[in-house]
C-alpha cells in the first residue's frame, strides 16, 4: 500500500469516527446548554424536562418510522400532516361514539392508511414519492383544518375530555410505548431481510433491480412502518394535550428531516442509515429549539431557533456528504 493510499484511508477512518460520535457529543453539549439556560433564567428544571420529553417522544417515534422511507432514498414530508389528521379523526370518532377503544383504533388505522396512500401512488402510478407526499400534505392539512374549524370554531380547536387519557400521561407508559415501537423497528431494520434489502435499494437501486428485488414492495413496507409511527405520534400527542388545532404537529414533517440528520444519518439513505438517529436527533433538535426559546424571549426566539437549526442542518449534511463522497473513491 502506497503512502498516499494509506493517508486517504486514515483520513476516511477519522471522518467515519467523527460522523459516528459527533451526534452523541452534540446531544450532550445541547443538554448541558439547556440545563445552564434554565438555571440562568431561574425556571423549574423539572417542568422544562417534561416539555422536552413530551415533544421528543412524538418527534422520535414519527422520525423512527420515517427512517424506513429515507433509507430507500425517498421522502415522506407529509408525516406531520398525517399526524394532525390522525389525531383529528380520533377526536372526531370519540365525539361521535364516546368510545376510547374505537378512537385509538381509528388513530392508528388512519395513520397507516394515510402513509400507505402515498406509497401506493408512488409505486403503482410511477409518481415520484416527493410529489405524492407533498400532495398528501396539502390534502390532509386542508381536510383537518376544515374539520377543526367546522366543529371547534376558527379560533379554537376540538378536544376530548381532559381526564380521558390522563391516567396514561406518565413517563413510564410513554417510554413503554416508545421502547416497544422502536424495538420492533430496530429488529426489522437490522435483523431481517426487509431491513437489509431496504438499505440495498437505497444504496444502489439499479443493482437491486438487476438482482430481482422489487423496490415497490419494500416501499409499501417502509410507508406502512412510517404510518404506524404516525399513529403512535398522534396518540402520544392526545395523551399530552387532549385538543388539536390546525397548527398541531404542523412542522413535524420538516423537523423529521432535520432530526434524523442531527442524529447522524445521511440524507441520501442507504447502508449508513441507523434507527438510533431518530432518537438522538429528536432529543438534540428539541433541546436546541427550547434552549434558544428560553434564552431569547418573545417572538424572535422562534425565528432565531429556526435559523440556527437550519445552519446546523446544512453543516451536518455537508459532513455526511463528505463521508459519502469519500466512500466512492477507488480502493
Collapsed DSSP state (helix, strand, coil) of residue 244: strand
Q: Which pLDDT does position 320 carry in this prediction?
A: 59
Average predicted confidence (pLDDT) for the chain: 83
- DSSP-assigned letter for residue 270: G
The per-residue DSSP string of 230-288 comes to HHHHHHHHHHH-SEE-TTTTTTHHHHHHHHHHHTT--TT-GGG--THHHHHHHHHHHHH
Q: Which pLDDT does position 12 carry in this prediction?
A: 58
Candidate from 11-25, 120-134, 237-251 with smallest mean pLDDT: 11-25
Cα three-residue angle 282-288-290, rounded to 5 degrees? 100
Q: Which pLDDT does position 14 carry in this prediction?
A: 64
pLDDT over threshold 60, residue 1: no
Q: What is d(CA 163, CA 225) in angstroms, rounded to the nearest whole number?
A: 30
pLDDT over threshold 50, residue 74: yes
pTM above 0.85, yes or no: yes
- List the chain domain ranges: 23-327
Architecture of domain 23-327: Orthogonal Bundle (1.10)
Q: Which pLDDT does position 238 carry in this prediction?
A: 94
Q: Which pLDDT does position 330 carry in this prediction?
A: 41
Counting every residue written for the chain, the total comes to 331
Q: What is d(CA 283, CA 26) in angstroms, rounded to the nearest whole number?
A: 10
| pLDDT digit string, tens, across residues 50-62 | 999 999 999 999 9
CB 213 within 8 A of CB 201: yes
| pLDDT digit string, tens, across residues 250-282 | 667 778 888 888 888 877 777 778 898 899 999
Q: Which pLDDT does position 228 carry in this prediction?
A: 95
Element (H, E) at 159: strand 158-159
- Alpha helices by DSSP H, listed for 154-214, are 171-191, 193-203, 205-210
Q: Which pLDDT does position 289 carry in this prediction?
A: 86
Ramachandran area for residue 165 (φ above 0: left; ψ -120 to 50: alpha; else beta):
alpha
Q: Which pLDDT does position 85 carry in this prediction?
A: 93
Give the pLDDT band of residue 179 (cuts 50, 70, 90): very high
Give the pLDDT band of residue 49 (cuts 50, 70, 90): very high
Q: Which pLDDT does position 182 carry in this prediction?
A: 95
Give the pLDDT band of residue 13 (cuts 50, 70, 90): low
pLDDT over threshold 50, residue 198: yes
Q: Once rounded to an integer, what is the mean pLDDT over residues 108-135?
A: 84
Q: How far is CA 305 from CA 91, 134, 251, 260, 293, in A?
A: 31, 25, 13, 17, 7
CB 284 within 8 A of CB 23: yes
* Secondary structure E strands in 48-155: none
Closest alpha carbon to 100 in 299, 275, 287, 235: 235
Amino acid at each position: 500500500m502506497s503512502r498516499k493510499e494509506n493517508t486517504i484511508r486514515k483520513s476516511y477512518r477519522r471522518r467515519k469516527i467523527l460522523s459516528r460520535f459527533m451526534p452523541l457529543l452534540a446531544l450532550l453539549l445541547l443538554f448541558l446548554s439547556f440545563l445552564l439556560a434554565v438555571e440562568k433564567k431561574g425556571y423549574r428544571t423539572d417542568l422544562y424536562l417534561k416539555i422536552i420529553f413530551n415533544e421528543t417522544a412524538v418527534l422520535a417515534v414519527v422520525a423512527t418510522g420515517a427512517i424506513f422511507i429515507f433509507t430507500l432514498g425517498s421522502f415522506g414530508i407529509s408525516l406531520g400532516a398525517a399526524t394532525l389528521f390522525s389525531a383529528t379523526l380520533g377526536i372526531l370518532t370519540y365525539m361521535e361514539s364516546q368510545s376510547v377503544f374505537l378512537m385509538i383504533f381509528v388513530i392508528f388505522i388512519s395513520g397507516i392508511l394515510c402513509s400507505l396512500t402515498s406509497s401506493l401512488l408512488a409505486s403503482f402510478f410511477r409518481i415520484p414519492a416527493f410529489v405524492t407526499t407533498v400532495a398528501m400534505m396539502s390534502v390532509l392539512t386542508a381536510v383537518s383544518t376544515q374539520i377543526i374549524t367546522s366543529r371547534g370554531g376558527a379560533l379554537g380547536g376540538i378536544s376530548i375530555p381532559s381526564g380521558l387519557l390522563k391516567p396514561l400521561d406518565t413517563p413510564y407508559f410513554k417510554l413503554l410505548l416508545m421502547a416497544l415501537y422502536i424495538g420492533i423497528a430496530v429488529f426489522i431494520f437490522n435483523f431481517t431481510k426487509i431491513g437489509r434489502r431496504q438499505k440495498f435499494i437505497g444504496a444502489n437501486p439499479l443493482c437491486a433491480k438487476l438482482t430481482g428485488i422489487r423496490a415497490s414492495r419494500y416501499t409499501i413496507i417502509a410507508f406502512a412502518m412510517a404510518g404506524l409511527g404516525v399513529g403512535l405520534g398522534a396518540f402520544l400527542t392526545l395523551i399530552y394535550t387532549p385538543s388539536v388545532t390546525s397548527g398541531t404537529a404542523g412542522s413535524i414533517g420538516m423537523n423529521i428531516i432535520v432530526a434524523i440528520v442531527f442524529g447522524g444519518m445521511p440524507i441520501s439513505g442507504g447502508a449508513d442509515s441507523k434507527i438510533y438517529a431518530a432518537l438522538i436527533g429528536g432529543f438534540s433538535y428539541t433541546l436546541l429549539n427550547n434552549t434558544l426559546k428560553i434564552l431569547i424571549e418573545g417572538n424572535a426566539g422562534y425565528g432565531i431557533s429556526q435559523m440556527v437549526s437550519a445552519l446546523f442542518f446544512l453543516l451536518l449534511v455537508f459532513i455526511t456528504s463528505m463521508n459519502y463522497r469519500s466512500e466512492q473513491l477507488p480502493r
